[in-house]
Structure 1
Amino acid sequence: MRGLVGKVVVVTGGASGIGRACVERFVEEGCTTIVADVQREPGEAVADELGDLASYLHLDVTDEESIAALVDTVVERHGRLDVFMANAAVFGAIGPIAEQRTPDVDLTLAVNLRGVILSLKHAARAMVPQGSGVIITTASPGGLIGGAGPHVYSATKAGIIGLTRSVAAELRPRGIRVTAVVPGAIASAMTASALVGDADDLEATAERMAKGSMLGRAGLPEDLAGAVAFLASDDAGYVTGSELFVDAGYTHASGAAYFAGEQHAGAGALLEGGRRTS
Protein backbone atom coordinates (compact mmCIF):
# COMPACT_ATOMS: atom_id res chain seq x y z
CA MET A 1 0.00 0.00 0.00
CA ARG A 2 1.26 3.48 -0.83
CA GLY A 3 2.34 5.83 1.93
CA LEU A 4 2.41 3.50 4.92
CA VAL A 5 6.15 3.06 5.45
CA GLY A 6 7.22 4.94 8.56
CA LYS A 7 3.70 5.77 9.75
CA VAL A 8 2.93 5.64 13.47
CA VAL A 9 -0.08 3.40 14.06
CA VAL A 10 -2.17 2.49 17.10
CA VAL A 11 -4.46 -0.55 17.07
CA THR A 12 -6.74 -0.95 20.07
CA GLY A 13 -7.59 -4.53 20.86
CA GLY A 14 -4.36 -5.38 19.08
CA ALA A 15 -3.41 -8.42 21.15
CA SER A 16 -5.79 -10.90 19.51
CA GLY A 17 -8.19 -11.60 16.66
CA ILE A 18 -8.75 -8.90 14.07
CA GLY A 19 -6.61 -6.43 15.99
CA ARG A 20 -3.60 -8.73 16.04
CA ALA A 21 -3.88 -9.43 12.32
CA CYS A 22 -3.99 -5.69 11.65
CA VAL A 23 -0.93 -5.11 13.84
CA GLU A 24 0.94 -7.79 11.91
CA ARG A 25 -0.05 -6.26 8.57
CA PHE A 26 0.98 -2.74 9.60
CA VAL A 27 4.37 -4.04 10.70
CA GLU A 28 4.73 -5.83 7.33
CA GLU A 29 3.95 -2.50 5.66
CA GLY A 30 6.79 -0.84 7.56
CA CYS A 31 4.75 1.01 10.18
CA THR A 32 5.75 1.72 13.75
CA THR A 33 2.84 -0.05 15.39
CA ILE A 34 1.50 0.09 18.94
CA VAL A 35 -0.39 -2.90 20.30
CA ALA A 36 -2.89 -1.22 22.62
CA ASP A 37 -4.83 -3.72 24.71
CA VAL A 38 -6.11 -4.49 28.20
CA GLN A 39 -4.55 -7.97 27.84
CA ARG A 40 -1.02 -7.28 29.00
CA GLU A 41 0.72 -10.64 28.55
CA PRO A 42 -0.72 -11.44 25.09
CA GLY A 43 -0.07 -7.86 24.00
CA GLU A 44 3.55 -7.95 25.09
CA ALA A 45 3.97 -11.35 23.41
CA VAL A 46 2.68 -10.01 20.08
CA ALA A 47 5.01 -7.01 20.24
CA ASP A 48 8.01 -9.18 21.14
CA GLU A 49 7.23 -11.58 18.30
CA LEU A 50 6.99 -8.82 15.69
CA GLY A 51 10.26 -7.08 16.51
CA ASP A 52 11.44 -3.49 16.67
CA LEU A 53 8.54 -1.95 14.76
CA ALA A 54 6.00 -3.16 17.33
CA SER A 55 5.54 -2.20 20.95
CA TYR A 56 2.88 -2.77 23.59
CA LEU A 57 1.04 -0.17 25.65
CA HIS A 58 -1.61 -1.06 28.18
CA LEU A 59 -5.04 0.35 27.39
CA ASP A 60 -8.43 0.11 29.05
CA VAL A 61 -10.92 1.76 26.69
CA THR A 62 -13.48 2.08 29.50
CA ASP A 63 -11.11 4.54 31.22
CA GLU A 64 -10.62 7.92 29.52
CA GLU A 65 -7.42 8.61 31.44
CA SER A 66 -5.98 5.39 30.02
CA ILE A 67 -6.86 6.45 26.46
CA ALA A 68 -5.47 9.95 26.95
CA ALA A 69 -2.26 8.58 28.46
CA LEU A 70 -1.82 6.18 25.55
CA VAL A 71 -2.09 8.95 22.96
CA ASP A 72 0.22 11.22 24.95
CA THR A 73 2.83 8.46 25.25
CA VAL A 74 2.71 7.67 21.54
CA VAL A 75 3.15 11.32 20.56
CA GLU A 76 5.92 11.80 23.13
CA ARG A 77 7.84 8.75 21.90
CA HIS A 78 7.29 9.07 18.17
CA GLY A 79 6.48 12.73 17.59
CA ARG A 80 3.14 12.10 15.86
CA LEU A 81 0.14 9.81 15.45
CA ASP A 82 -0.71 8.91 11.85
CA VAL A 83 -3.27 6.10 12.10
CA PHE A 84 -5.58 5.17 14.94
CA MET A 85 -7.70 2.02 14.64
CA ALA A 86 -10.44 1.99 17.27
CA ASN A 87 -11.02 -1.75 17.17
CA ALA A 88 -11.40 -2.95 20.78
CA ALA A 89 -14.82 -4.54 21.31
CA VAL A 90 -16.68 -7.37 23.01
CA PHE A 91 -19.85 -9.29 22.19
CA GLY A 92 -20.91 -8.22 25.65
CA ALA A 93 -24.43 -8.72 26.98
CA ILE A 94 -26.18 -11.70 25.42
CA GLY A 95 -29.57 -13.32 25.80
CA PRO A 96 -33.20 -12.24 25.27
CA ILE A 97 -33.99 -8.55 25.64
CA ALA A 98 -36.22 -9.25 28.65
CA GLU A 99 -33.28 -10.85 30.45
CA GLN A 100 -30.57 -8.26 29.82
CA ARG A 101 -28.64 -7.51 33.00
CA THR A 102 -28.01 -3.81 33.41
CA PRO A 103 -24.36 -4.15 34.52
CA ASP A 104 -23.65 -6.24 31.40
CA VAL A 105 -25.42 -3.65 29.24
CA ASP A 106 -23.40 -0.83 30.78
CA LEU A 107 -20.11 -2.69 30.29
CA THR A 108 -20.91 -3.42 26.63
CA LEU A 109 -21.72 0.23 26.01
CA ALA A 110 -18.58 1.33 27.86
CA VAL A 111 -16.27 -0.84 25.76
CA ASN A 112 -17.92 -0.80 22.35
CA LEU A 113 -19.31 2.72 22.01
CA ARG A 114 -18.13 5.02 24.78
CA GLY A 115 -14.61 3.62 24.33
CA VAL A 116 -14.69 4.36 20.61
CA ILE A 117 -16.05 7.87 21.16
CA LEU A 118 -13.25 8.63 23.61
CA SER A 119 -10.65 7.00 21.36
CA LEU A 120 -11.69 9.26 18.49
CA LYS A 121 -11.66 12.25 20.85
CA HIS A 122 -8.04 11.73 21.83
CA ALA A 123 -6.85 10.58 18.41
CA ALA A 124 -8.28 13.77 16.95
CA ARG A 125 -6.61 15.78 19.70
CA ALA A 126 -3.25 14.55 18.43
CA MET A 127 -4.02 14.67 14.71
CA VAL A 128 -5.66 18.09 14.37
CA PRO A 129 -2.47 20.07 15.21
CA GLN A 130 -0.44 18.08 12.68
CA GLY A 131 -3.12 18.53 10.00
CA SER A 132 -3.22 14.89 8.95
CA GLY A 133 -4.20 11.43 10.05
CA VAL A 134 -6.46 8.45 9.51
CA ILE A 135 -8.97 7.07 12.00
CA ILE A 136 -10.54 3.66 11.38
CA THR A 137 -13.39 2.18 13.40
CA THR A 138 -14.61 -1.41 13.46
CA ALA A 139 -18.34 -1.74 12.88
CA SER A 140 -20.46 -4.83 12.12
CA PRO A 141 -23.36 -6.01 9.95
CA GLY A 142 -25.12 -6.30 13.30
CA GLY A 143 -25.37 -2.52 13.29
CA LEU A 144 -27.40 -2.65 10.08
CA ILE A 145 -29.23 -5.99 9.98
CA GLY A 146 -31.59 -7.21 12.67
CA GLY A 147 -30.63 -10.52 14.21
CA ALA A 148 -27.01 -10.47 13.11
CA GLY A 149 -25.57 -9.93 16.59
CA PRO A 150 -26.44 -9.59 20.27
CA HIS A 151 -28.87 -6.76 21.00
CA VAL A 152 -26.59 -4.29 22.79
CA TYR A 153 -23.63 -5.14 20.58
CA SER A 154 -25.78 -4.35 17.54
CA ALA A 155 -26.82 -1.04 19.07
CA THR A 156 -23.19 -0.07 19.65
CA LYS A 157 -22.15 -1.00 16.13
CA ALA A 158 -24.99 1.06 14.66
CA GLY A 159 -23.74 3.90 16.82
CA ILE A 160 -20.21 3.47 15.53
CA ILE A 161 -21.38 3.83 11.93
CA GLY A 162 -23.21 7.06 12.77
CA LEU A 163 -20.26 8.31 14.81
CA THR A 164 -17.80 7.57 12.01
CA ARG A 165 -19.80 9.50 9.45
CA SER A 166 -20.33 12.44 11.78
CA VAL A 167 -16.69 12.74 12.85
CA ALA A 168 -15.57 12.36 9.24
CA ALA A 169 -17.62 15.42 8.34
CA GLU A 170 -15.99 17.43 11.13
CA LEU A 171 -12.39 16.37 10.52
CA ARG A 172 -12.36 16.35 6.72
CA PRO A 173 -11.34 20.05 6.53
CA ARG A 174 -8.49 19.29 8.94
CA GLY A 175 -6.90 16.75 6.61
CA ILE A 176 -8.06 13.76 8.64
CA ARG A 177 -9.94 10.83 7.08
CA VAL A 178 -12.36 8.75 9.17
CA THR A 179 -13.71 5.44 7.90
CA ALA A 180 -15.19 2.19 9.20
CA VAL A 181 -14.42 -1.39 8.30
CA VAL A 182 -17.39 -3.77 8.57
CA PRO A 183 -16.28 -7.38 9.10
CA GLY A 184 -18.65 -10.27 8.69
CA ALA A 185 -18.28 -13.39 10.79
CA ILE A 186 -14.56 -13.81 11.43
CA ALA A 187 -12.87 -16.87 12.94
CA SER A 188 -11.37 -15.45 16.14
CA ALA A 189 -11.09 -16.39 19.80
CA MET A 190 -14.23 -14.47 20.72
CA THR A 191 -16.21 -16.10 17.90
CA ALA A 192 -14.82 -19.52 18.80
CA SER A 193 -15.95 -19.11 22.39
CA ALA A 194 -19.47 -18.24 21.20
CA LEU A 195 -19.78 -20.96 18.53
CA VAL A 196 -17.88 -23.99 19.83
CA GLY A 197 -17.30 -23.12 23.48
CA ASP A 198 -13.52 -23.12 23.18
CA ALA A 199 -11.70 -19.86 22.44
CA ASP A 200 -8.62 -21.77 21.27
CA ASP A 201 -10.34 -24.07 18.78
CA LEU A 202 -10.13 -21.84 15.74
CA GLU A 203 -9.98 -24.78 13.33
CA ALA A 204 -13.37 -26.16 14.39
CA THR A 205 -14.76 -22.63 14.37
CA ALA A 206 -13.59 -21.98 10.82
CA GLU A 207 -15.02 -25.31 9.64
CA ARG A 208 -18.39 -24.54 11.17
CA MET A 209 -18.45 -21.02 9.79
CA ALA A 210 -17.48 -22.19 6.30
CA LYS A 211 -20.69 -24.22 6.03
CA GLY A 212 -22.78 -21.06 6.23
CA SER A 213 -20.49 -18.72 4.36
CA MET A 214 -21.55 -17.32 1.02
CA LEU A 215 -17.97 -17.62 -0.25
CA GLY A 216 -17.54 -21.18 0.99
CA ARG A 217 -14.98 -20.42 3.68
CA ALA A 218 -14.75 -18.66 6.99
CA GLY A 219 -13.68 -15.07 7.16
CA LEU A 220 -10.18 -14.71 8.62
CA PRO A 221 -8.60 -11.86 10.57
CA GLU A 222 -6.15 -11.48 7.69
CA ASP A 223 -9.05 -10.61 5.39
CA LEU A 224 -9.73 -7.58 7.56
CA ALA A 225 -6.08 -6.65 7.85
CA GLY A 226 -5.76 -6.11 4.11
CA ALA A 227 -8.85 -3.91 4.03
CA VAL A 228 -7.64 -1.88 7.00
CA ALA A 229 -4.20 -1.40 5.46
CA PHE A 230 -5.90 -0.06 2.34
CA LEU A 231 -8.05 2.40 4.31
CA ALA A 232 -4.99 3.64 6.17
CA SER A 233 -2.89 4.07 3.03
CA ASP A 234 -2.60 6.79 0.42
CA ASP A 235 -4.37 4.40 -1.96
CA ALA A 236 -7.54 5.35 -0.04
CA GLY A 237 -6.66 9.03 -0.01
CA TYR A 238 -10.07 10.03 -1.41
CA VAL A 239 -12.07 7.81 0.97
CA THR A 240 -13.68 9.21 4.10
CA GLY A 241 -17.00 9.02 5.91
CA SER A 242 -17.85 5.62 4.49
CA GLU A 243 -17.76 1.93 5.34
CA LEU A 244 -15.78 -0.85 3.70
CA PHE A 245 -17.67 -4.14 3.97
CA VAL A 246 -15.58 -7.30 4.34
CA ASP A 247 -18.42 -9.74 4.88
CA ALA A 248 -18.66 -12.04 1.84
CA GLY A 249 -21.64 -10.01 0.66
CA TYR A 250 -23.71 -10.75 3.78
CA THR A 251 -24.96 -7.20 4.21
CA HIS A 252 -25.68 -6.18 0.63
CA ALA A 253 -25.72 -9.35 -1.46
CA SER A 254 -27.30 -12.04 0.71
CA GLY A 255 -30.02 -12.99 -1.76
CA ALA A 256 -29.91 -16.27 -3.70
CA ALA A 257 -30.18 -14.56 -7.15
CA TYR A 258 -33.19 -16.73 -7.96
CA PHE A 259 -34.02 -14.99 -11.22
CA ALA A 260 -30.47 -15.53 -12.48
CA GLY A 261 -30.64 -19.29 -11.94
CA GLU A 262 -30.37 -21.97 -14.60
CA GLN A 263 -34.15 -22.39 -14.63
CA HIS A 264 -34.42 -18.90 -16.09
CA ALA A 265 -31.59 -19.11 -18.61
CA GLY A 266 -32.71 -17.67 -21.95
CA ALA A 267 -36.15 -16.84 -20.51
CA GLY A 268 -36.18 -13.22 -21.69
CA ALA A 269 -38.47 -10.88 -19.76
CA LEU A 270 -41.40 -11.70 -17.47
CA LEU A 271 -44.24 -9.25 -17.99
CA GLU A 272 -47.80 -8.52 -16.83
CA GLY A 273 -50.16 -11.41 -16.26
CA GLY A 274 -47.35 -13.93 -16.55
CA ARG A 275 -46.64 -13.07 -20.20
CA ARG A 276 -43.05 -13.56 -21.35
CA THR A 277 -41.07 -12.10 -24.19
CA SER A 278 -39.99 -14.64 -26.79
Structure 2
Amino acid sequence: MNNFDGRVALITGAGSGIGRAMALAFARAGAHVVACDIDPNSAKQTAADIGDTAFAVPADISDESSVTALVHAAVNAFGRIDVLCNNAGIMDTMALPADISVELWQRVLAVNLTGTFLVTHAVLPHMLKQGSGAIVNTASEAGIRGGAAGAAYTAAKHGVVGLTRNVAWAYAKEGIRCNAILPGPTMTGMATNATFDQTGMARLAPVLALGESIAQPEQMADAAVFLASEAASFINGAIVPVDGGWSAA
Protein backbone atom coordinates (compact mmCIF):
# COMPACT_ATOMS: atom_id res chain seq x y z
CA MET A 1 0.00 0.00 0.00
CA ASN A 2 3.09 2.23 -0.09
CA ASN A 3 3.47 1.71 -3.84
CA PHE A 4 3.75 5.03 -5.66
CA ASP A 5 4.31 3.66 -9.17
CA GLY A 6 3.04 6.14 -11.73
CA ARG A 7 2.59 8.89 -9.16
CA VAL A 8 4.44 12.19 -8.92
CA ALA A 9 5.74 13.69 -5.67
CA LEU A 10 6.80 17.33 -5.37
CA ILE A 11 9.13 17.88 -2.42
CA THR A 12 10.23 21.34 -1.30
CA GLY A 13 13.48 21.73 0.59
CA ALA A 14 14.64 18.57 -1.16
CA GLY A 15 18.29 19.57 -1.32
CA SER A 16 19.16 18.53 2.22
CA GLY A 17 17.95 17.16 5.54
CA ILE A 18 14.38 15.93 5.84
CA GLY A 19 13.44 17.08 2.34
CA ARG A 20 16.25 15.12 0.71
CA ALA A 21 15.32 12.05 2.76
CA MET A 22 11.70 12.45 1.62
CA ALA A 23 12.73 12.70 -2.03
CA LEU A 24 14.81 9.53 -1.79
CA ALA A 25 12.09 7.68 0.12
CA PHE A 26 9.36 8.50 -2.38
CA ALA A 27 11.66 7.50 -5.22
CA ARG A 28 12.33 4.14 -3.56
CA ALA A 29 8.57 3.69 -3.29
CA GLY A 30 8.26 4.13 -7.05
CA ALA A 31 7.31 7.80 -7.42
CA HIS A 32 8.61 10.28 -9.93
CA VAL A 33 10.11 13.08 -7.85
CA VAL A 34 10.28 16.83 -8.39
CA ALA A 35 13.12 17.96 -6.12
CA CYS A 36 12.72 21.65 -5.26
CA ASP A 37 15.20 23.71 -3.30
CA ILE A 38 16.27 27.35 -3.18
CA ASP A 39 19.83 26.07 -3.75
CA PRO A 40 19.94 24.85 -7.36
CA ASN A 41 23.03 22.73 -6.84
CA SER A 42 21.59 20.78 -3.92
CA ALA A 43 18.33 20.20 -5.79
CA LYS A 44 20.28 18.90 -8.78
CA GLN A 45 22.34 16.63 -6.55
CA THR A 46 19.24 15.05 -5.02
CA ALA A 47 17.73 14.51 -8.45
CA ALA A 48 20.98 13.06 -9.76
CA ASP A 49 21.18 10.65 -6.85
CA ILE A 50 17.68 9.42 -7.69
CA GLY A 51 18.21 9.13 -11.42
CA ASP A 52 15.97 9.45 -14.47
CA THR A 53 12.75 9.48 -12.45
CA ALA A 54 13.63 12.77 -10.75
CA PHE A 55 13.65 16.36 -11.93
CA ALA A 56 15.25 19.29 -10.11
CA VAL A 57 13.62 22.73 -9.94
CA PRO A 58 15.22 25.60 -8.01
CA ALA A 59 12.64 27.88 -6.41
CA ASP A 60 12.14 30.39 -3.61
CA ILE A 61 8.85 29.31 -2.09
CA SER A 62 8.33 32.71 -0.47
CA ASP A 63 8.03 34.27 -3.95
CA GLU A 64 4.73 33.71 -5.77
CA SER A 65 6.19 33.94 -9.28
CA SER A 66 8.89 31.43 -8.38
CA VAL A 67 6.26 29.04 -7.01
CA THR A 68 4.14 29.43 -10.16
CA ALA A 69 7.16 28.53 -12.27
CA LEU A 70 7.93 25.55 -10.00
CA VAL A 71 4.48 24.02 -10.33
CA HIS A 72 4.36 24.70 -14.06
CA ALA A 73 7.72 22.94 -14.49
CA ALA A 74 6.57 19.97 -12.42
CA VAL A 75 3.37 19.49 -14.41
CA ASN A 76 5.18 20.07 -17.68
CA ALA A 77 7.74 17.40 -16.78
CA PHE A 78 5.43 14.69 -15.44
CA GLY A 79 1.86 15.72 -16.32
CA ARG A 80 0.46 15.70 -12.79
CA ILE A 81 1.21 16.13 -9.08
CA ASP A 82 -0.11 13.42 -6.77
CA VAL A 83 1.85 14.18 -3.62
CA LEU A 84 3.03 17.50 -2.23
CA CYS A 85 5.44 17.60 0.69
CA ASN A 86 5.70 21.16 1.98
CA ASN A 87 8.97 20.69 3.78
CA ALA A 88 11.11 23.76 3.02
CA GLY A 89 11.70 25.97 6.02
CA ILE A 90 14.18 28.10 7.90
CA MET A 91 15.00 28.36 11.58
CA ASP A 92 14.78 31.48 13.69
CA THR A 93 17.40 32.40 16.30
CA MET A 94 15.34 31.16 19.26
CA ALA A 95 14.85 34.82 20.21
CA LEU A 96 12.03 35.72 22.57
CA PRO A 97 9.27 38.09 21.34
CA ALA A 98 10.89 41.25 22.74
CA ASP A 99 14.25 40.41 21.17
CA ILE A 100 13.48 39.24 17.64
CA SER A 101 13.95 41.71 14.80
CA VAL A 102 10.96 42.53 12.62
CA GLU A 103 13.05 41.60 9.59
CA LEU A 104 13.70 38.09 10.89
CA TRP A 105 10.05 37.70 11.93
CA GLN A 106 8.89 38.57 8.42
CA ARG A 107 11.42 36.30 6.72
CA VAL A 108 10.63 33.25 8.87
CA LEU A 109 6.88 33.63 8.34
CA ALA A 110 7.39 34.30 4.61
CA VAL A 111 9.19 30.99 4.12
CA ASN A 112 7.68 28.68 6.72
CA LEU A 113 4.03 29.75 6.57
CA THR A 114 3.37 31.86 3.48
CA GLY A 115 5.65 29.63 1.42
CA THR A 116 3.70 26.55 2.50
CA PHE A 117 0.48 28.33 1.52
CA LEU A 118 1.81 29.52 -1.85
CA VAL A 119 2.91 26.05 -2.97
CA THR A 120 -0.33 24.49 -1.72
CA HIS A 121 -2.34 27.22 -3.45
CA ALA A 122 -0.55 26.55 -6.74
CA VAL A 123 -0.81 22.76 -6.57
CA LEU A 124 -4.44 22.48 -5.46
CA PRO A 125 -6.00 23.28 -8.88
CA HIS A 126 -4.11 20.33 -10.38
CA MET A 127 -5.17 17.97 -7.61
CA LEU A 128 -8.77 19.19 -7.89
CA LYS A 129 -8.70 18.51 -11.63
CA GLN A 130 -7.41 14.99 -10.94
CA GLY A 131 -9.88 14.42 -8.13
CA SER A 132 -7.14 13.19 -5.82
CA GLY A 133 -4.00 14.21 -4.00
CA ALA A 134 -2.09 13.95 -0.74
CA ILE A 135 -0.37 16.85 0.98
CA VAL A 136 2.06 16.36 3.85
CA ASN A 137 3.25 19.48 5.63
CA THR A 138 6.33 19.59 7.81
CA ALA A 139 5.24 21.49 10.91
CA SER A 140 7.18 21.08 14.16
CA GLU A 141 6.89 20.40 17.86
CA ALA A 142 6.89 24.20 17.97
CA GLY A 143 3.53 24.06 16.21
CA ILE A 144 1.80 22.67 19.29
CA ARG A 145 3.70 24.21 22.17
CA GLY A 146 4.95 27.65 23.12
CA GLY A 147 8.44 26.88 24.33
CA ALA A 148 10.11 24.73 21.69
CA ALA A 149 11.52 27.52 19.50
CA GLY A 150 11.69 31.27 19.12
CA ALA A 151 8.73 33.55 18.52
CA ALA A 152 8.79 33.60 14.71
CA TYR A 153 9.29 29.87 14.19
CA THR A 154 6.66 29.03 16.81
CA ALA A 155 4.07 31.34 15.24
CA ALA A 156 4.83 30.09 11.74
CA LYS A 157 4.55 26.42 12.65
CA HIS A 158 1.31 27.00 14.58
CA GLY A 159 0.09 28.56 11.35
CA VAL A 160 1.13 25.48 9.36
CA VAL A 161 -0.92 23.32 11.73
CA GLY A 162 -3.96 25.54 11.20
CA LEU A 163 -3.49 25.59 7.43
CA THR A 164 -3.19 21.79 7.40
CA ARG A 165 -6.51 21.36 9.17
CA ASN A 166 -8.25 23.94 6.98
CA VAL A 167 -7.09 22.33 3.73
CA ALA A 168 -8.10 18.89 5.03
CA TRP A 169 -11.57 20.17 5.94
CA ALA A 170 -12.04 22.16 2.74
CA TYR A 171 -11.16 19.46 0.22
CA ALA A 172 -11.94 16.11 1.84
CA LYS A 173 -14.93 15.59 -0.45
CA GLU A 174 -12.73 16.29 -3.48
CA GLY A 175 -10.41 13.37 -2.69
CA ILE A 176 -7.57 15.51 -1.34
CA ARG A 177 -6.01 14.73 2.02
CA CYS A 178 -3.75 17.03 4.03
CA ASN A 179 -1.79 15.99 7.11
CA ALA A 180 1.24 17.30 8.98
CA ILE A 181 4.20 15.75 10.73
CA LEU A 182 5.71 17.37 13.81
CA PRO A 183 9.41 16.55 13.89
CA GLY A 184 11.18 16.63 17.18
CA PRO A 185 14.95 17.25 17.27
CA THR A 186 16.32 15.92 13.98
CA MET A 187 19.85 15.69 12.63
CA THR A 188 19.71 18.33 9.90
CA GLY A 189 21.82 21.30 8.90
CA MET A 190 19.00 23.76 9.58
CA ALA A 191 19.68 23.74 13.32
CA THR A 192 23.39 22.98 13.34
CA ASN A 193 24.19 25.89 11.00
CA ALA A 194 22.08 28.47 12.86
CA THR A 195 23.22 31.23 15.22
CA PHE A 196 21.10 31.30 18.34
CA ASP A 197 20.05 34.06 20.72
CA GLN A 198 21.58 33.18 24.09
CA THR A 199 18.75 34.67 26.19
CA GLY A 200 16.18 32.68 24.28
CA MET A 201 18.23 29.50 24.43
CA ALA A 202 18.63 29.81 28.20
CA ARG A 203 14.89 30.32 28.62
CA LEU A 204 14.00 27.42 26.33
CA ALA A 205 16.63 25.01 27.61
CA PRO A 206 14.41 23.14 30.15
CA VAL A 207 11.80 22.38 27.48
CA LEU A 208 14.34 21.52 24.80
CA ALA A 209 16.02 19.09 27.20
CA LEU A 210 12.89 16.93 27.06
CA GLY A 211 13.64 16.24 23.40
CA GLU A 212 17.03 14.69 24.00
CA SER A 213 16.56 11.90 21.47
CA ILE A 214 17.82 12.99 18.05
CA ALA A 215 16.03 11.55 15.03
CA GLN A 216 17.45 10.89 11.60
CA PRO A 217 15.85 12.60 8.57
CA GLU A 218 14.87 9.20 7.21
CA GLN A 219 12.54 8.65 10.17
CA MET A 220 10.62 11.80 9.21
CA ALA A 221 10.57 10.71 5.58
CA ASP A 222 9.07 7.33 6.47
CA ALA A 223 6.21 9.08 8.27
CA ALA A 224 5.58 11.32 5.27
CA VAL A 225 5.51 8.39 2.86
CA PHE A 226 2.99 6.62 5.07
CA LEU A 227 0.70 9.65 5.33
CA ALA A 228 0.76 10.10 1.55
CA SER A 229 0.11 6.42 0.87
CA GLU A 230 -3.05 4.40 0.42
CA ALA A 231 -2.33 2.83 3.81
CA ALA A 232 -3.39 6.21 5.26
CA SER A 233 -6.34 6.71 2.93
CA PHE A 234 -8.74 7.66 5.76
CA ILE A 235 -6.29 9.85 7.66
CA ASN A 236 -7.01 13.49 6.95
CA GLY A 237 -6.28 16.60 9.01
CA ALA A 238 -4.00 14.67 11.37
CA ILE A 239 -1.19 16.43 13.21
CA VAL A 240 1.30 13.65 13.85
CA PRO A 241 4.19 14.05 16.31
CA VAL A 242 7.33 12.24 15.11
CA ASP A 243 9.37 13.01 18.16
CA GLY A 244 10.24 9.87 20.09
CA GLY A 245 7.64 10.71 22.73
CA TRP A 246 8.65 14.33 23.42
CA SER A 247 5.09 15.60 23.05
CA ALA A 248 3.85 12.93 25.45
CA ALA A 249 5.91 14.36 28.33
Q: TM-score, normalised by structure 2?
A: 0.91
Match of residue 126 from structure 2: 126
In structure 1, distance between residues paired with 2:100 and 2:230: 43
Q: Is contact 1:93-1:101 (8 Å) kept?
A: no
Once the two structures are TM-superposed, the CA of residue 243 in structure 1 deviates from its matched residue by: 1.4
In structure 1, distance between residues paired with 2:2 and 2:99: 49
In structure 2, distance between residues paired with 1:244 and 1:98: 31
Deviates more, 1:148-157 or 1:2-11: 2-11
In structure 1, distance between residues paired with 2:245 and 2:158: 18
In structure 1, distance between residues paired with 2:210 and 2:109: 29
Match of residue 220 from structure 1: 216
Match of residue 151 from structure 2: 151
SS of 1:100's equivalent? coil
Once the two structures are TM-superposed, the CA of residue 190 in structure 1 deviates from its matched residue by: 1.3
Higher relative contact order (Cα pairs below 8 Å, separated by 6+ residues): 2
Once the two structures are TM-superposed, the CA of residue 59 in structure 1 deviates from its matched residue by: 1.1
Gaps of 5+ in 1: 197-211, 255-278
**CA-to-aligned-CA distance 1:178-229 (integer Å, 9 cap, x gap):** 1111111101111222489xxxxxxxxxxxxxxx576x74211010011011
Q: How does 1:116-265 map to 2 (within 5 A)?
A: 116-194=116-194, 217-251=213-247, 253-254=248-249
Match of residue 72 from structure 2: 72
Q: Is contact 2:24-2:50 (8 Å) kept?
A: yes
Once the two structures are TM-superposed, the CA of residue 42 in structure 1 deviates from its matched residue by: 1.2
**Residues 1:151 and 1:184: Cα distance change in structure 2 (over 3 Å):** same
Once the two structures are TM-superposed, the CA of residue 102 in structure 1 deviates from its matched residue by: 1.1
**CA-to-aligned-CA distance 1:11-63 (integer Å, 9 cap, x gap):** 00010000000001011111100110101111111111221112210111111
Q: TM-score, normalised by structure 1?
A: 0.81
Deviates more, 1:87-96 or 1:134-143: 87-96
Once the two structures are TM-superposed, the CA of residue 84 in structure 1 deviates from its matched residue by: 0.6
Match of residue 100 from structure 2: 100
Q: Is contact 2:143-2:182 (8 Å) kept?
A: no
SS of 1:97's equivalent? coil
In structure 1, distance between residues paired with 2:93 and 2:244: 26
What is the number of equivalent residue pairs in this alignment? 238
Q: Aligned partner of 2:245: which letter? A: G
Q: Is contact 1:92-1:107 (8 Å) kept?
A: no
Seq. identity, % = 36
Q: Aligned partner of 2:81: which letter? A: L
In structure 1, distance between residues paired with 2:147 and 2:194: 15
Match of residue 209 from structure 1: none
Q: Is contact 1:4-1:234 (8 Å) kept?
A: no
Once the two structures are TM-superposed, the CA of residue 109 in structure 1 deviates from its matched residue by: 0.9
Gaps of 5+ in 2: 197-208
Q: Aligned partner of 1:182: which letter? A: L
SS of 2:98's equivalent? helix
In structure 2, distance between residues paired with 1:129 and 1:52: 26
Once the two structures are TM-superposed, the CA of residue 96 in structure 1 deviates from its matched residue by: 2.9
In structure 2, distance between residues paired with 1:47 and 1:76: 17
CA RMSD, Structure 1 to Structure 2 (Å): 1.8
**Residues 1:3 and 1:29: Cα distance change in structure 2 (over 3 Å):** closer
